[in-house]
Amino acid sequence: MKTLRCLIYFFSMISVSYPAAAIETIAREAILIDHETGTVLFAKDADKPMAPASMSKMMTVYMLFERLRDGRISPDDAFSVSETAWRKGGAKSGSSTMFLDPGKRVRVEDLLRGIIIQSGNDACIVVAEGLAGSEEAFAVEMTRRAREIGMNDSTFKNATGWPDPDHVMTARDLSTLAVRTIKDFPDYFHYYSEKEFTYNGIIQINRNPLLYKEMGVDGMKTGHTEDAGFGLTATAKRGERRLVLVVNGLANKKDRAAEPERLLEWGFREFNNYALFKASETVAEADVWLGESPTVPLIIQKDMVLTMPRAARPGMKVTVNFTNPVPAPIEEGAKIAVLTITATGQEPIEAPLVAGAGVKRLGLFGRLGTALNYIIFGNAG
């Protein structure tokens, strides 16, 4: 037996995940990721708890989307506007509002648009009360669900993002929420790209400044409070690539319009995705010792699409490491080898390779013949 190290060079189709390249931002917290691979292209204090302001409304929307997808509510269902929702989030509150009237019943779809497009605090409270009985109970549900989908550093105290010292998220958690929203709710995500909504005779436009620029942005949510500064969670798609960006702590609306555009343009320009292998593709073959088949295909189980800087492709390499020959019997799906991607200055990326077919062991006479063949000719097959 010997360890075989199969070296495969790729000069145009390999991709390797890289840490963030050199770029700076005036945002206090930021993260830029590739939606498909999850590769972080840039991060700044991405795990620092921060006041998310209205960007936390994305979690309220996520909870509503889940009910719609699962059929627990319908877009035409209606919730009543309580005195509390009107007082805390209505026109007299001085905050972002959908201008709901107390005592009125409002369609779920209208509330959804009121949250996403108009950032209505009143709409958020109405939804929270309609789904959980109270905003406080709904905030507990939000925190629990956030943990379940991987947002481990987010704690919600309300449905709106209203300032509370214990109501915190991180930029990384917001990017996780954005990715999950896009993946989990393809039938509902389009609401985030709508530019205006009229309710109660009042036209309000979406506050996401990037929706009005020809750069592929189709979501998601702005935020602003005195403590949080100006923030934006944005996503843009060009061709098959989608990036997700979170920035917070910007000084004003002008910076919120310019800085996210600059970071997204940099991400699309400097990085690209490359398909290395497709699921079930044979990457290499291994010899089989004392098996009914002389070889066994080594396949990768999942699509391998990796993100790398466009300028860093040449010189990347892929190796396949396994002990050769592989003794029979071999079960289909058994882990046989390790695929390793290396690049200068980067942590290796590894993926298992498994047997693409089962191989039975030879019978007694077959094993004797193979052994004799090996003794005479040195052939281990």
Residues taking part in catalysis: 54, 57, 119
- Would you list the DSSP string of 206-247? ---GGGGSSS-EEEEEEEEETTTEEEEEEEEEETTEEEEEEE
Dist. CA 212–CA 267, nearest whole Å: 19
- In whole angstroms, how far apart are CA 81 and each of 66, 104, 108, 197, 372? 22, 6, 12, 19, 87
Distances (CA, A) of 159 to 88, 94, 97, 234: 12, 17, 13, 20
Residues paired with 341 in a beta bridge: 318, 349
Alpha carbon distance 74, 373 (integer Å): 72
- Angle (nearest 5°) at CA 34 between 305 and 154: 125
Residue 147 structure tokens: 């943990």
**How far is 297 from 284, CA to CA, in rounded Å?**
6
Answer whether 79's CB lies under 8 Å from 64's CB. no
Q: Which helix (H) or strand (E) holds 167?
A: none
* CA atoms of 196 and 380, how far apart (whole Å): 72
First vs last C-alpha separation in the chain:
12
| 52 exposure class (CB count in 10 Å sphere: 0-12, 13-18, 19+) | buried
Task: Sort 299 into a burial class: Cβ within 10 Å, 0-12 / 13-18 / 19+.
Answer: buried
How would you classify the pairing of strands 317-324 and 335-342?
antiparallel
| DSSP, res 206 | -
Is the Cβ–Cβ distance between 146 and 27 less than 8 Å? no
